[in-house]
Amino acid sequence: MTALLEIAGLRAGYQESIVLEDISLQVQIGEVVALLGANGAGKTTTMRVITGLIAALGGTIAFDGEDLSRLRAERRVDVGIALCPEGRQVFPNMSVMENLLLGSFCRHARARRAATLELVQELFPRLTERSAQKAGLMSGGEQQMLAIGRALMACPRLLLLDEPSLGLSPRMVQLVFGAVAKIAEAGISILVVEQNAQAAFSVARRGYVLAGGRVAAAGTIAELARSGQVEQAFIGTDFFKREGAACSKSGA
Amino acid sequence: MSMLLQCLVDSILLGGLYSLMAVGLSLGFGVTRIINFAYGEFIMLGAYGAFFCSSLAGIDPLIALPAVAIGVALFAAIVFEFSLRRVLRAPAINQILLLFGVGLVIQNLAAILWTGDARSVETPYSLTAREFGDINVPDGRIVTFLVATVLIAALLWWLHRTELGRAIRAVAQNRDAAVLMGINVMRMYLLSFMLNAALGAATGAMASFLLTVTPFMGFPMLIKSFAIVVLGGLGSIPGTLAGAFLLAFAETAVAYYVPDGIGWAEGVAFAVLLGVLIFRPRGILGQAVEVA
């Protein structure tokens, strides 16, 4: 397998605080990779650096073998990277349809707009029903579907999902991750950030655990679940007792 | 009774022009989050453009309007590239002072180049009027109302039905998300600033046959536009339209019903501005800062 996304020694942060000290990770073509870690570990920052919303201070990011550092944020969509951001960030005063159309603003996606729209609406029938609804007035779950759908409209080769389960009911989490599994089956590579390890483990094959801006552990989901590294990264919560039990069940 | 009716008709006709004027300021603010304090000067340039087309070449201001709007928009692009671009991330006060300064420079250049003389444009429709019963309606006002309506309708169509229009609204609603869609935000800032100038210039071209044209005509227009936008809620286009008609009505009513009201009418915008800021800072339709 060739690496679609290859990050090596990445350093990044905001003004005077370095958030990412040294991040190295890879996503292979067709692979689903989970990015785990406690709040403030640097997961969202990693996503923002990959999309170019914030600049890297050091290290390299290569996409499909090409250095991304010279590519401005809005041009990275053109090469095939789409981010479904934390907190969904839909355009609140626009209709669901307008949000989706904006997803395919970039040229290569615009050419295939009608076909992609059909696929997205098949994946999330709810979006077809709500087509004329103002995005800001929808429930959190519906907005999440819209945000994922909007990212898919860009015809990405790599889909970045930042906490798709945030603030959703368990049923909705299931629904959203069901869709993520289907997207993966379609061959789109996915890097997913999650606090909900159980949900992430349901779709990912490999994972990285971040702590303090570094990669604390990496490996297959089964290895991570066994080693207790995930537990360590989330230390201070009783999180893993619940999640861990669930993982070993589903991982078996 | 007929005075009330006359007052209403006058306010509606004036409100159309005010809408066009204020929508330009509102759109620019909605996208870039910068209030264009040189906006009045773009209106003034539009008025001079129409005046020169008319006096030098005999071209009607309405025929000249598209070319004048495009010309002023190109000038605004230069202003953007050489000054505004550098303060996009700066504190609001820097942006306001910069644009205010740009406005002063344009104003004084105009006074040097074209003198401070008051000019006016005469058109076949600027001196005629129609009677409907007791109501007297000047043709020039009807023309400006119709042109303003068409331009606003075209703008709204463009904003809602085209790729670029959608992109510009996306930037207004969520800048980072717009970047993620592959939208070049800087280009949208530039485009919205040019649109802002074009709408100002269109307003000026029409003001050329309603008002006297001087290098200093812009400032009161800026204050009025600003009062309307604040009244309607910053960045909300429906709010801006409502604000435009409210200000037009308030001014007209003062002119009709207050003794010596014509002189006072010009001050209504200031009173409105003060009142809104004290009693309802969000504007009538706006949320704290909500957009298009």
pLDDT by residue, tens only, chain B of 292 residues: 789 999 999 999 999 999 999 999 999 999 999 999 999 999 999 999 999 999 999 999 999 999 999 999 999 999 999 999 999 999 999 999 999 999 999 999 999 999 999 999 999 998 899 999 889 999 999 999 999 999 999 999 999 999 999 999 999 999 999 999 999 999 999 999 999 999 999 999 999 999 999 999 999 999 999 999 988 887 788 999 999 999 999 999 999 998 887 888 888 988 988 888 888 877 766 554 444 4
Q: What is the pLDDT of residue B285?
A: 65
Q: Which of B177, B182, B291 sits opposite A106 (nearest CB)?
A: B182
Interchain pair A53, B180: CB under 8 A = yes
* Min distance B98 CA to chain A CA atoms (Å): 26
Q: By CA distance, what is A103's nearest residue in B?
A: B181
Q: What is the pLDDT of residue A1?
A: 52
Q: What is the CATH number of the domain that holds B57?
A: 1.10.3470
CA distance A86 to A186: 23
Q: What is the pLDDT of residue B163?
A: 96
Total CB pairs under 8 A between chain A and B: 71
Q: What is the pLDDT of residue B263?
A: 82
* Min distance B198 CA to chain A CA atoms (Å): 25
Interchain pair A74, B166: CB under 8 A = no
> What are the DSSP E strand ranges found in A49-139?
56-63, 66-67, 81-84
Q: What is the pLDDT of residue B286?
A: 58
CB distance A25 to A7 below 8 Å: yes
Residues of chain A with pLDDT under 50: 236-252
Inside any domain, residue B269: yes
pLDDT, one tens digit per residue, over B166-181 is: 999 999 999 999 999 9
Inside any domain, residue B288: no
Q: Touching check for B176 and chain A: CB below 8 Å?
A: yes
Q: What is the pLDDT of residue A226?
A: 84
Q: What is the pLDDT of residue A93?
A: 93
pLDDT, one tens digit per residue, over B57-70 is: 999 999 999 999 99
Owning domain of residue B66: 2-279
Q: Which of B174, B183, B291 sits opposite A105 (nearest CB)?
A: B183
Interchain pair B173, A93: CB under 8 A = yes
Nearest in space to B200 (alpha carbons), one of B96, B93, B65, B81: B65
Inside any domain, residue B187: yes
Inside any domain, residue B21: yes
Amino acid at position A57, single letter: L
Q: What is the pLDDT of residue B127?
A: 86
Q: By CA distance, what is B161's nearest residue in A?
A: A98
* Min distance B197 CA to chain A CA atoms (Å): 25
User: What is chain B written as a DSSP string?
Assistant: -HHHHHHHHHHHHHHHHHHHHHHHHHHHHHHHS---TTHHHHHHHHHHHHHHHHHHH---HHHHHHHHHHHHHHHHHHHHHHTGGGGTTS-HHHHHHHHHHHHHHHHHHHHHHH-S--B----TTTS-EEEETTEEEEHHHHHHHHHHHHHHHHHHHHHHHSHHHHHHHHHHH-HHHHHHTT--HHHHHHHHHHHHHHHHHHHHHHHTTTS-B-TTSHHHHHHHHHHHHHHH-TT-HHHHHHHHHHHHHHHHHHHHHSTTHHHHHTTHHHHHHHHHHHH-TT-SS--TT---
**Structural domain tally of chain B?**
1
Q: What is the pLDDT of residue A248?
A: 45
Inside any domain, residue B164: yes
Q: What is the pLDDT of residue B277?
A: 84
